[in-house]
């Protein structure tokens, strides 16, 4: 019951606009210095060059690669592409953190798996949970409430949760070079989209503030909702445990068609989950296309995994040896965090 009261308070805050108007504690994005060109956090090299050349070619009205403004669609994966996804996807951390509240609401779950393991706090055991177990947790923590309640929960969590290594809010773990690419593309008439395997409703909560991307340009894994009325007769939507779009692997181009209805001309990813999106964007295209993959090879400033460690393809999706080979074959540009990025985060000294 206390949980319900809390939820009601949170919803009240949202509806009154109080929570949404809370000031952002610090700017996430570094501001460009006077005299700097575009992409100031990028070192000169083939990756930076590929972006500049692509934009030049597609915006040159007189050139053969010209793309009219309405077709300038650029899609960005999120986890590992625009922000840190290690040691665990941020959204999964959110869901695990929400388990105690869910169990308080439904005490009968306390001794049931996988909730029992999560409540134990045993990190090793939690890390060994199966995908199926994670699915149960995601469903229990992300459905059954109103859209507004969910948004308020995410917002409240983001305000207090800290990354275990960086000791900073997760929204400060966005890659400054990618924020610059987003801004540079938009300045050149591109509409930028997040196309994430993560939850659409989750990412929409902060995408506008953090990436400058409004909710309607966030495509993600999405569940159904159910229309109904609250006690005051106000219509609202309840998040249902019904999967509409699994926005990963082939689900990415399918989601892009559903939500955007145009084929992108630029796509950015970092894992096998982005492969189909990059193919859909670049293979057999009738003009210049940009496919880019972020390689996590910087254990010092971020993490090193994937081909840097000789990893094979996985179902979860990581930058694999196979994907690295495919990138070479298809002309996708690999972005080395270590070599291509002058700095990774806005707050670096």
β pairing state of 191-199 and 73-76: parallel
Smallest separation (angstroms) from its own copies to the CB of 262:
6
Smallest separation (angstroms) from its own copies to the CB of 19:
14
Binding track over 188-227 against its own copies, x by CB under 8 A: ---x--------xx--x---x-----xxx-x---x-xxxx
- What does 88-129 look like in DSSP terms, one character per residue? S-HHHHHHHHHHHHHHHH-GGGTTSTTHHHHHHT-HHHHHT-
Q: Which of 147, 156, 304, 321 binds its own copies (CB under 8 A)?
A: 147
> Does residue 144 touch its own copies according to CB under 8 A?
no
Asked whether 188 and 59 are in contact (CB, 8 A), the reply is yes
> Does residue 91 touch its own copies according to CB under 8 A?
no
Instruction: Rank residues 127 and 227 by Cβ distance to its own copies and give the closer one.
Output: 227
Instruction: Rank residues 125 and 285 by Cβ distance to its own copies and give the closer one.
Output: 285
Smallest separation (angstroms) from its own copies to the CB of 178:
22
Q: Is residue 286 helix, strand or coil?
A: coil
* Contacts for 210 with CB less than 8 Å, ≥ 6 apart: 28, 171, 174
Binding track over 12-41 against its own copies, x by CB under 8 A: ---xxx------------------------
Instruction: Rank residues 13 and 118 by Cβ distance to its own copies and give the closer one.
Output: 13
Neighbours of 16 (CB within 10 A): 10
Q: In what order do the strands lie in the sheet with 235-245?
A: 235-245, 218-229, 191-199, 73-76, 266-269, 290-295, 333-336
Interface of this chain with its own copies, residues 55 to 84, rule: CB under 8 A = 70
Binding track over 230-249 against its own copies, x by CB under 8 A: --xxxx-x------xx----
Maximum Cα–Cα distance across the chain: 68
Interface of this chain with its own copies, residues 263 to 282, rule: CB under 8 A = 276, 279-280
Distance CA 337, CA 42 (A): 10
Query: Phi/psi at 269 (nearest 5 deg)?
Result: -150, -170
- Between helix 275-282 and helix 251-259 the angle, nearest 10°, is 60
Binding residues vs its own copies (CB under 8 A): 15-17, 70, 147, 191, 200-201, 204, 208, 214-216, 218, 222, 224-227, 232-235, 237, 244-245, 250, 253-254, 257-262, 276, 279-280, 283-284, 286
């Amino acid at each position: 019951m206390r949980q319900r009261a809390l939820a009601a308070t949170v919803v009240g805050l949202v509806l009154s606009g109080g929570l949404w108007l809370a000031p952002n504690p610090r700017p996430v994005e570094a501001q460009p210095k006077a005299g700097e060109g575009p992409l100031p956090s990028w070192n000169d090299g083939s990756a930076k060059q590929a972006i500049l050349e692509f934009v030049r070619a597609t915006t040159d009205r007189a050139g053969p690669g010209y793309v009219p403004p309405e077709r300038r669609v650029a899609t960005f994966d999120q986890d590992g592409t625009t922000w840190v996804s290690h040691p665990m996807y941020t959204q999964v951390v959110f869901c695990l953190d929400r388990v105690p509240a869910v169990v308080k609401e439904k005490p009968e779950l306390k001794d049931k798996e996988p909730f029992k393991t999560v409540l134990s706090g045993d990190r090793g055991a939690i890390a060994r949970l199966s995908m199926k177990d994670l699915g149960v947790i995601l469903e229990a923590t992300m459905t059954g409430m109103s859209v507004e309640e969910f948004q308020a929960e995410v917002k409240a969590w983001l305000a207090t949760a800290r990354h275990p290594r960086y000791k900073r809010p997760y929204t400060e773990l966005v890659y400054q070079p990618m924020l610059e690419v987003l801004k540079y593309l938009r300045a050149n008439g591109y509409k930028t989209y997040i196309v994430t395997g993560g939850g659409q409703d989750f990412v929409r909560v902060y995408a506008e503030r953090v990436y400058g991307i409004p909710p309607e340009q966030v495509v993600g894994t999405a569940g159904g909702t159910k229309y109904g009325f609250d006690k005051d007769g106000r219509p609202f939507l309840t998040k249902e445990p019904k999967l509409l779009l699994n926005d990963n692997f082939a689900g990415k181009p399918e989601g892009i068609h559903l939500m955007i209805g145009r084929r992108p001309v630029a796509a950015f990813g970092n894992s096998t989950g982005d492969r189909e999106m990059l193919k859909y964007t670049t293979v057999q295209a009738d003009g210049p296309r940009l496919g880019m993959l972020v390689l996590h090879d910087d254990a010092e400033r971020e993490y090193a995994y994937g081909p840097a460690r000789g990893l094979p393809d996985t179902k979860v999706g990581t930058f694999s040896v196979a994907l690295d080979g495919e990138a070479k074959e298809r002309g996708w540009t690999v972005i080395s965090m270590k070599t291509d990025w002058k700095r990774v985060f806005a707050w670096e000294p």
